[in-house]
Structure formats: structure tokens, C-alpha cells
Amino acid sequence: MTAELPRTQEEAAAELERLAAEIAHHNRLYHAEDAPEISDADYDALMRRNTAIEAAFPELVRADSPSRQVGAAPAGRLAKVAHARPMFSLDNAFSDEDVADFLGRVRRFLALGEDAAVALTAEPKIDGLSCSLRYEKGRLVQALTRGDGQIGEDVTANVRTIADIPAEIAGAPEIFEVRGEVYMAKGDFAALNARLLAEAEESGKEARQFANPRNAAAGSLRQKDAAVTASRPLRFLAWGWGETSALPGETQVEVIAAVRAMGFPVSDLFAGPLDLAAALAQYKRIEAQRADLPFDIDGVVYKVDRLDWQDRLGYVGRAPRWGIAHKFPAERAQTTLRAIDIQVGRTGKLTPVARLEPVTVGGVVVTNATLHNADEIARLGVRPGDRVILQRAGDVIPQIVENLTRDEDRPEYRFPDHCPICNSEAVAEEGEVDVRCTGGLICPAQRLERLKHFVSRGALDIEGLGEKTLIEFLDLGWIAEPADIFRLARHREALLGREGWQEKSVDALLAAIEAKRAPDAARLLFGLGIRHIGAITARDLLKRYATLDALRALADNIIALRDATPAQIGETEQKHRARLDKAVAELIGVENVGGAVGQALADFFHEPHNREAWDDLLSEVAPPPFVVETRDSEVTGKTLVFTGSLESLSRDEAKAQAEKLGARVAGSVSAKTDLVIAGPGAGSKLKKAADLGIRVITEAEWGAIVSAAK
């Protein structure tokens, strides 16, 4: 059953913020760290929920919305390079009807008749690492990963070690970027893991093996040392192109044929031109061969064959209008549920994990599955001993979709009301399904995860403080809270006496810590792991309040605001909560930051041990006031509204331009609006601007303002 959409703008803003943080987290794990923790199907469900809420509340769509982003910003130590042409993602289809709807949208956009012929191509959607290869005068000069679609990592030296990728090509335009997928064949993946295991056993070290071929390919390509990449069995399949000085064809079929002729591998299952029926038939053929293919695939990609039509169709958000990925349904099997274990995450969330009788699903032996939360357990009625149907929709943790023995006489599973780690009370907030430990930093499970988060790349990014090192320092009693990290220099001599630590590595770690004594305030705030305050919200709050001291004062004001109980002012708990959330949101005064964020901030500072940890941390570090780099312009400090269709740039690009010029972009016109930029089709917002006497300019005039500020 699909969850109901939020009823109010405030509820919608809060859920979009949560979704943005969760999706960004999974994007970072998948694209930047090659360590996904949810299935493709679960990720797609998060994206569909985000899209549905944005469709219902279009005024809340932001430039940094997940629906406008591709992948994740590169986070490794490789050089970052901007793509000459962005590497976009694809929207998904999950049924034949979705594909037919896609074709209908193409016809309507091109103003064709309902029965007009639109030829498509079809090819397998390979589960690898997207890469763009730039050739100039036939010579390979640069190779970039997808990254966030705008900026990728330079892997040129590594790519030169892949036999499938030619160093020189003939018959290509003067500038030609070939795009495709770097992957590892299933057999090569198994052999690599076996080799890594044997090497670990021989050296006596802990074995480091890859979870799946996609992770192996990504980890092997994104190496600092190209010699490591050369030792790994990587392959390449071409599926498209980027910047080019000329196109060697007028259709997708013709250009892909030219790419093949240049010496690049292209899937034997690439087919076209096809009508809808033939494209769907090709999907069925590819699906039937899926298990026997040498590489992992998760669907079939369709593209409009005519390139002039592709140009006319263009892009919307992060995806082309001329292409779509038809995903495969999840694979299923039956097994027995042995036990339900409870894991505690860094935010205190209690997550149930099903321990299963081992079963093979789609060629992979599965022993664990996600159960999400207490409501999901109740919905399925599962208990240890039940026979269940397991669904695998990717290469990560599968999920249980049906209980075959729920009518058998067996005691009902009772979700714990205390943390299994620290025995603190575990509760669910009003209106939420997730149960969380209230122990905070005193909970050993949260302590490790919170410290890992604090030093992670998205937060303080302290190199050398990985999980293994944090566990070692926790066991020694050297660290318990973030501030303790900055006192590790006191243990230098003791650390030098420990196995595995040399003077060079100890001093490198301590230097990395010292380099963070004046951290970015938004990163520090995000690193504390306060509920509802993700990386985006942290930046939004610091844009408004500049310092952490000002944020603490805000929290104190919120605490004072909610001191009055419902009984004292004669209203119900529900009305009191709604009034309080609205008042908190107004007090915060930051667009798209709702009352839930303020309440979480107040909850954090209401706990004495959190206040102590905060004060202790700020006695060790001194983050400077948060400053957003902007250029002076005639719109600096003003509030802008974009309305209608923009023809030369996307709405996200326009908003990014405005923010760089020091302006604030609002979703609706009000008396506080200073300027409206109106494109074709502007409606009620344009009328309201006229009624209020607000200045209105065209997109061309906006471009002149941007150019003048450069």
C-alpha cells in the first residue's frame, strides 16, 4: 500500500528534508564509497516518494532536490574535473504500461500523432561504473567517472590499463567522448575474491573481499595507484557519447555502430530501430538471458533512435526525455526465518534484521533480509520459525514480502521497548514508526556510529580515523565523545607502543586531527548527528545564523517556547503540537526548514549530557562564522521568484545563479518579493506581482544581470 501524502506544506517540507538526507546518504555510499546498504528497489521507492511529494507541493522543489541530482559528488583523493557535457541519469519504468506512457510523452512533446512511429533502441542496463572517455584527434586524453553528473574523478591513468579501451582510434571526429560502463565479469569477480582471500591467509592479515561485481569494478577503477587497477580484470562496454565536434551518424543505431567500428566493445544485445512491441520483446529476451550473461544487469534501456528528436526532447531535471530504464522485477525464493535480530544505528534507530535459512536467489546465497521496522513486522506477522517468501531486487540486503505460515500457532513477536545494547528506553515519536534508543552518546552502539559519522567525509573528514581505529581507541578508553578526538595527542607515546602504529602513521593522524581545529561550521553541525539535520539543512541553518553560538541560542528560545503545556493553555495535544511546530518554523525563519528540525535541535540541547558534549567540543575547536561565497550584484540581499518556463537554463541553474549573486529564491510571490523573473506560461505569480507592483523582468534580462556580475 502506498503511504498517504503529507497533508500540509510543513509536513511535506519535513519529509522532503528527511528524504533528501537519506537519499544523499545512499548516493554517497553507492557512487562515492562503493558500499551500498539498500537494494535498488528500496532506493527507487525513496525516489518515487520524493517525486510524488514534490508533484503535490511544487513550491517546495529545491535546486538541491534528489530529483534534480545525479549520483554523488566525488569524495576520493583523485583529481576532480568538470564534464564537458553533464552525465545525466535515467528515469525508471517498472512495467510495460510505464514504457508505453514514456512513448506517449515523447509523441506529445514532439507534437506527433498518437499512432506516429517512434523508433527506439534497446540494450542491457549494466550494473557497473559509468565512465566518459575523451579522444582528441583519435588519442585518449582523459577519462572521468560519472561523479555527480557535473564533476567526475580523473581516472585516465587507470583506464589506460583496461584492455577493452583503445589508446587510439580511427575514423572518429576531432573531439569525441565515448561513454560506457566499466564492469567486472561474474567469473572474474569470483576469481578476484578468491585471490584476495588466499593473499590474506598467506600474509596473516584480515581478508578484504568485495560484496559484488559492481563494487569490485568501482573500487578497482577508483584507485590512486594505477598498478592496482592493472592487476584487476576490468572490462568496458560502450553505450553512448558526450561532447563531440561532429556526430558519425544521424541515429542512435548509426552512432553506436560507428563506436563499435572504432574498436569499442558494444553489447551483442543492443538492438534497433524497434517499435514498442519489438522493444518489449527485446526486454523479454534480455531478461531470459540475464542469469547467463557474464555481467550483472538490472534492466533494459530504451532510447529514441533519431538524434534530431533527442535534441528537441532535451532533458528534465536530472534525466533525458528521450530515454528510460525498464527495470527487472525482483527475484524471489522461499526460506525459513530463523531469528529476528535488532541492530542499533548511529541515530539510535532500532532496525530489525531477519536471519534466514540460507537460500539461493538469482545466483546469490542469501542469509539476511531487512524487516525495516516494527510496523513491517506486524504487517507481515512474522515470527522465528515462519516460512517466508524472500525478494531480491539488487545486490544488497533483500526483503521479506510474504509470510506463508502466519496462521500457525506461534507466539507473536514483540518489538523491544528498551535498547538491546544499553538498555535505555526505546520509543517512537508521535506519528512515526521508527523506534529509537534514547541513550544518545552513552549508548555504545550509537557512540561508535556517531563517531564514525563525525569523522566521515561529509562531516569533519578526518583521514586515518576509520572504524577499526575508532574501535581501538574506544576499547582503550581514549575516546568517548567527539571532543576526545582532539585530545588524542596526549596518548602519542602510548600509541607508538602499540602494534601496527609507527611514528609516521601516528604523526600523520595527529596532524590530520589538528588540521580540523577550525572546521567548517555546517560540517561540524552535520557531524553531530542531530536528528533531521542533514548536510543540506545544516548549511541552510548556518546561512541564516552564521555561528554555532547563534544556533544554540535559537534552541534555547525554542525550548522556552514549548515550556507551556497543552493543559495550561487549554488545547489538545494535537493542536498544541501543530501550533508549536508552526511557531518554531516561524522562529527559525529559514525557507523549507520546518518545525520538526527546530524540535530536534531543542531535543538535543534539552539533554544535559548533549550540552556538556557540545561545550566540551567547542572548547577544542573554533569554527569560523559560516560564509557563503557570493558576488556583489544588483540583486544581492534581495528575494527573487522565478515563474513560467525558462528556455536557456533549468530552474535549478537559475536558483544556483541567484544564490551565487547573494539573492534568496522564494517559491511564491509576496510583499517581501523584490524581483520576479518570468518566462513563457507565467500565470498567477505574474498576476500577483503586477498587483503588488513588483518589478518583473524577462529571462534575457536576468542573463544580463548574471553576466554583469562576473
Q: Which of 125, 516, 655, 685 is catalytic?
A: 125
Q: Helices 548-561 and 535-545: crossing angle, nearest 10°?
A: 90
For residue 342 the three cell numbers come to: 535488532
Residue 410 cell numbers, joined: 506461534
Q: How far apart are CA 1 and CA 292, in angstroms?
A: 34
Residue 284 annotated in active site: no
* C-alpha separations of 511 from 75, 477, 535 in Å: 20, 21, 25
Task: Look at residue 579 and give its three-state secondary structure.
Answer: helix
Task: Give all strands (DSSP E) within 379-505, no chain letters.
Answer: 387-392, 399-403, 426-427, 436-437
Q: What single-letter DSSP state applies at residue 381?
A: T
CA torsion, ordered 647, 650, 656, 660, to nearest 10 deg: -20
> What is the distance between the alpha carbons of residues 382 and 48, in angstroms, rounded to a whole number?
27
Which distant-in-sequence residues (6+ apart) come within 8 Å of 224 by Cβ?
76, 77, 78
Q: What Rg do the C-alpha atoms of the chain give, in angstroms?
A: 27
What is the DSSP code (8-state) at residue 424? -
Residue 665 in contact with residue 685, Cβ under 8 Å?
A: no
Contact 127, 296 (CB under 8 A): yes
Is the CB of residue 648 less than 8 Å from the CB of residue 703? yes
> Is there a contact between 434 and 349 (Cβ–Cβ < 8 Å)?
yes
What is the pairing mode between strands 695-697 and 675-678? Answer: parallel
Smallest CA-to-CA distance from 72 within 120, 118, 35 is with 35
Point out the residues that are catalytic. 125
